[in-house]
Structure 1
Amino acid sequence: MDSGKLSAIVESLRQIGTDKQRIEVKSGVGKSVLETLSAFSNGDGGMLIVGLSESDGFSLVDAFDAGSQRDKLMNSCKKLTPVVRPEIDIVPFESGALLVAELDPMVSHDKPCYVTERGRYGGSYIRTGDGDLRLQKYEIDRLIEEKTQPSWDAEVVPGARISDLDEEVLQNFISSQRIQRPRTFANGEAVAKPLTSSPRSSETTVVSVIQGPRTPNSWVVGI
């Protein structure tokens, strides 16, 4: 981050009089910074600028010690799970200097990023507008589910039999899977069928019922 770019960012904040979706300003590193670090990590990333007073029109904080604040911020980053590793710079600004931290979003399998002492369901946040909102249990569960490949399509549908399926549609589905997943079919179709969620023995799976029932709407499948 260079001084010119930082000055342009601060000027835009002064014009609109508030923070932005991906820019948070704080006068110093306090407890609330943990929520911002979590929110940026769980969202699209963002920039944290420390050393400006929003209530005073985003003016430079008197006697702001960027060095000591950097140490506090680095310590705060360790208080999240997973640990946050932003790019942190001290950038000259007007008559002093500001602390600037740029955060990339966490990769999906590391989300949610949360304040360790508050726990996953009490310390996970997301950025909305210019604020950091705590994620609800449902939202956190969805983030956790995204870490693994969903397997609901391979579940068995009670009462459904292979004879209930349209053979032509079923074979077309298996053929398409053979093209899309050649490694899966390398050891033969018998081995591959369970891995592609196609019918196995007398059991019929959710994806099979959705793909090729002889009679549409024969079953109600909860997805």
Structure 2
Amino acid sequence: MLEEEFGKLLLRVQQRNCEEQTLEVKAANKGCPERLYDTFSAFANQNEGGMLLFGLDEKQGFAKVGVYDAQDLQKKLMEVGESMTPVVRPVLSVYVEGAMLFVAAEIPPLDLAERPCFKTARGRLKGSFIRVGDADKPMTEYEVYSYEAYRKRSRDDLRPVEGISLSALDPVQLEQYLLKRKLDRPNFASVPTEQLYELTGLQKEGQFTLTAVLLFGLYPQAYFPQLSIIASRVPGTEMGEVDETGQRFLDSKRIEGSLVEMLEGAVSFLRSNMRMAVRIDPKTGKRQDMPEYPLDALREAVLNALVHRDYSTHTENMPIQLIMFYDRVEIRNPGGLYGRLTVDQLGKIQPDTRNPAVITAMEALGQTENRYSGIPRIRRAMAEAGLPEPVFRDDRWEFSVCLYNKEAAEQPPERKPALSAEKLPLDDRGLLNFCRTPRTRKEIVRFLGIASGQYATRRYLEPLVKSGMILMTLPDRPKSPKQTYQTNPDIR
């Protein structure tokens, strides 16, 4: 790091008066901090890496205190890196200001195939950490597993299911499927049935696999009760709200069966619970029923949840959730995006595939194209219907898609802010109501519940501030540590 950059970094930390997702501050004026491996691990395990900055004291409002001995501190930081698996090589910089010395340790991100990075002496389960806001938190067993599953290319869709015999499968559906595979690949025609089971992922080592149970089981939930869809329609915009009669759910259903049956059942639930708008064609005078959401977008979202969810033993007790709110539909499936794929890359690049046997079988059954066109189709269908862009969210333990309706795109007149802006940002996280009382940036990040404070403020707070819907209480000092944010009083 250049000296000029180092000086600006110190000033920025003091102005913001906080640590960040990629920045940890340590005093180190009385010696090397005893526990640094958790931050080394957390920074190495996130895509952006991170930096430890030594010489500022958080307890004194990030005052400059310098470090005790820059040479010895750098030596100890290298020793911490050597104690990690894989070994972490921090990039060290020293900055001089008057009689004080400051040290920065930049922790590079590990390649996904090498994660998780952990304290060797504590082991992978107890020594792996993840960054959450400005804190280092121990990884859950599932978070550790998700990295290992990618590194080892684990195939949970091919795991054998004990106690399953041919009598537990639908013979007609199974025979039709094998016939289709033979038609697709003529060389399969002479292959014995038992071998064909192995080649298509329906059996492994003589036992039927999870793929076979999910696709052709007479009742898969007899063996995996929670591999289902919990579908609900609620009266408000948040779970727990009730209607005028005190009901929390206007409709609720557990959707079970094979993957194809669950797909059909979920689409049927959505169709029956959707509101319909009536439109008169000005040219023909004929009535047209306009669905609340485009059905093909809903179908693709449900299909993606079914074929891309995590089917490991860690998540087999977690059903897919389908929730219809007043202003949106949310579909949440266990397991975040697989491999190197990020939300920004959805529909733009060919992703790693978590359940290739399931997806290949669904393609053969005509349920999916397996051409990575699902996300583009969702986006296009929503745009063609004049609805907001779909919102995709990813955590390592859950992925969700949120489709907003016209209630969200066009707020009722009594709820519209009395501002002149033509296009106002959505407030889908309820910040306007939260900020009726002045709030600090830290309070807002905590309320949003998003690990990355920078992303949270950029995605949700800053658009509202720019539109004038939320005001800074110290507008002439936007970076003041005493800055708070309050909802524009003109908004009712």
Range class of TM-score, shorter chain:
0.7 to 0.9
In the superposition, the TM-score normalised over structure 1's length comes to 0.74
The aligned counterpart of 1:165 is 177
Residues 119 and 128 of structure 2 are in contact (CA less than 8 Å); yes or no, is this contact kept in structure 1? yes
Shift of 1:135: 0.5
Residues 166 and 214 of structure 1 are in contact (CA less than 8 Å); yes or no, is this contact kept in structure 2? no
Residue 60 of structure 1 pairs with residue 64 of structure 2: yes
In the superposition, the TM-score normalised over structure 2's length comes to 0.36
Shift of 1:38: 0.7
**Are the structure 2 counterparts of residues 122 and 146 from structure 1 closer, same or farther at C-alpha, using a change threshold of 3 Å?**
same
Say which SS state the counterpart of residue 87 (structure 2) adopts: coil
Residues 166 and 212 of structure 1 are in contact (CA less than 8 Å); yes or no, is this contact kept in structure 2? no
Say which SS state the counterpart of residue 120 (structure 1) adopts: helix
Shift of 1:13: 1.4
* C-alpha separation in 2, matches of 1:147 and 1:171: 35
Amino acid corresponding to residue 137 of structure 2 in structure 1 = L
Aligned-pair RMSD on alpha carbons?
Answer: 3.0
Shift of 1:100: 0.9
- Tell me which of 127, 134, 144 is aligned to 2:131: 127
Per-residue CA deviations over 1:102-157 (Å, capped at 9, x if unaligned) read: 11111122211111222211111011111111101111111111102232344578
Per-residue CA deviations over 1:6-49 (Å, capped at 9, x if unaligned) read: 22222221122111110111112323211100110111210111
Residue 144 of structure 1 pairs with residue 180 of structure 2: no
* C-alpha separation in 2, matches of 1:214 and 1:9: 56
The aligned counterpart of 1:27 is 27
Amino acid corresponding to residue 362 of structure 2 in structure 1 = I
* C-alpha separation in 2, matches of 1:138 and 1:26: 30
* C-alpha separation in 2, matches of 1:171 and 1:23: 57
Query: What does 1:61-210 align with in structure 2 at a 5 Å threshold?
Result: 61=65, 64-154=68-158, 159=166, 163-165=175-177, 167-168=179-180, 200-203=195-198, 204=200, 205=202, 206=211, 207=357, 209-210=361-362
* C-alpha separation in 1, matches of 2:81 and 2:87: 6
Per-residue CA deviations over 1:177-207 (Å, capped at 9, x if unaligned) read: xxxxxxxxxxxx67xx9xxxxx943455233
Residues 164 and 213 of structure 1 are in contact (CA less than 8 Å); yes or no, is this contact kept in structure 2? no
* Long gaps (5+) in structure 2: 203-210, 212-356, 368-492
- Tell me which of 27, 41, 45 is aligned to 2:44: 41
Residues 66 and 102 of structure 2 are in contact (CA less than 8 Å); yes or no, is this contact kept in structure 1? no
**Are the structure 2 counterparts of residues 94 and 3 from structure 1 closer, same or farther at C-alpha, using a change threshold of 3 Å?**
farther
The farther-off stretch of 152-161 and 64-73 is 152-161
Say which SS state the counterpart of residue 36 (structure 2) adopts: helix
* C-alpha separation in 2, matches of 1:214 and 1:58: 60
Per-residue CA deviations over 1:42-100 (Å, capped at 9, x if unaligned) read: 11210111122112232222563211111111111112111111111212245422111
Say which SS state the counterpart of residue 84 (structure 1) adopts: coil
Say which SS state the counterpart of residue 101 (structure 1) adopts: strand
Amino acid corresponding to residue 46 of structure 2 in structure 1 = G
Amino acid corresponding to residue 111 of structure 2 in structure 1 = V
- Tell me which of 204, 211, 223 is aligned to 2:363: 211
**Are the structure 2 counterparts of residues 50 and 137 from structure 1 closer, same or farther at C-alpha, using a change threshold of 3 Å?**
same
Residues 25 and 54 of structure 1 are in contact (CA less than 8 Å); yes or no, is this contact kept in structure 2? yes
Amino acid corresponding to residue 148 of structure 2 in structure 1 = I
Amino acid corresponding to residue 138 of structure 2 in structure 1 = R
The aligned counterpart of 1:196 is none
Residue 8 of structure 1 pairs with residue 160 of structure 2: no
Residues 49 and 100 of structure 1 are in contact (CA less than 8 Å); yes or no, is this contact kept in structure 2? yes
Amino acid corresponding to residue 149 of structure 1 in structure 2 = R
- Equivalent pairs, count: 194
Identity value in percent: 28
Amino acid corresponding to residue 4 of structure 2 in structure 1 = G
- Select the structure with the greater relative contact order (CA < 8 A; seq sep ≥ 6): 1
**Are the structure 2 counterparts of residues 146 and 165 from structure 1 closer, same or farther at C-alpha, using a change threshold of 3 Å?**
same
* C-alpha separation in 2, matches of 1:31 and 1:171: 65
Say which SS state the counterpart of residue 99 (structure 1) adopts: strand
Shift of 1:170: 6.7
Say which SS state the counterpart of residue 147 (structure 2) adopts: helix
* C-alpha separation in 2, matches of 1:137 and 1:85: 26
**Are the structure 2 counterparts of residues 16 and 26 from structure 1 closer, same or farther at C-alpha, using a change threshold of 3 Å?**
same
* C-alpha separation in 1, matches of 2:363 and 2:132: 39
**Are the structure 2 counterparts of residues 96 and 118 from structure 1 closer, same or farther at C-alpha, using a change threshold of 3 Å?**
same
